Amino acid sequence: MRQATVERATNETSIKVDVNLDGSGDYSVSTGIGFLDHMLEQLSRHSLMDLTVEAKGDLHIDFHHTTEDTGIAIGEAVSKALGNRAGITRYGTAHAPMDETLSRVSLDASNRPYLIWRVGFSKPKLGDMDTELFKEWFQAFAQGAGLTLHVETLYGENNHHIVESCFKALARALREAVTIDPGKAGAIPSTKGVLGGSL
């Protein structure tokens, strides 16, 4: 079982994350930010990654630090669970429709973090959460997990649907990428013999 625990403590946040990449999509998430909890539950359920997140942050200031640090911690736990990434499929792409919205995520679990974010919102807030924070979460997650991550909303109007379709597409693409390739079990999926570093 590819499992990992990460604990991250700063003057701004205290976070503990447990992941099991070979789970069944079970989750227990508490960040103090209701909408973020909802999105992380979607990530778990649709990736089949078991996920436990316990986060406490300086929400009296704003949601930025908790959102970003949660992305970092979950990403680091995913990376730790992947180990040297031997045998994984490595690449994943998924489209996630949600009513009028369609989003696409393509990723490479290359251990070379990079984010392309082509997602727009019509309002600065979604409930109590600043919509600009969703890019911060995806950036932090890509960095922590070592993913080259391309996120694009092809079209959509409802901001809730846009965000949720991005998280669901990420979940499905991640599920594909971390799956063990039965034809290459045990092999590093790179001609370099290692993932990460220079191209």
For the chain (length 199 residues), average pLDDT per consecutive 10? 96 97 98 97 98 97 97 98 94 98 98 97 94 98 98 98 98 97 75 60
Q: Is residue 199 part of a domain?
A: no
Question: In Å, how far are 69, 78, 141 from 6, measured between CA atoms?
Answer: 12, 9, 13
pLDDT at 138: 98
Pairwise CA distance, residues 104 & 152, whole Å: 5
Q: Is residue 192 part of a domain?
A: no
What angle, 0 to 180 degrees and rounded to 10, lies between the N-to-C axes of helices 132-145 and 159-178? 10
Range of the domain at 80: 3-178
Torsion angle of alpha carbons 137, 141, 143, 147, nearest 10°?
A: -130
pLDDT at 189: 66
pLDDT at 160: 97
Q: Is residue 197 part of a domain?
A: no
Q: Is residue 72 part of a domain?
A: yes
Q: Is residue 188 part of a domain?
A: no
Q: Is residue 186 part of a domain?
A: no
pLDDT at 1: 80
Quote the tokens at residue 132: 């600009």
Total domains, the chain: 1
Quote the tokens at residue 181: 């390739």
User: Is the whole-model pTM more than 0.85?
Assistant: yes
Nearest to 49 by CA among 128, 113, 145: 145
Nearest to 109 by CA among 174, 184, 19, 188: 174
DSSP alpha helices (H): ranges in the chain? 34-47, 64-82, 132-145, 159-178
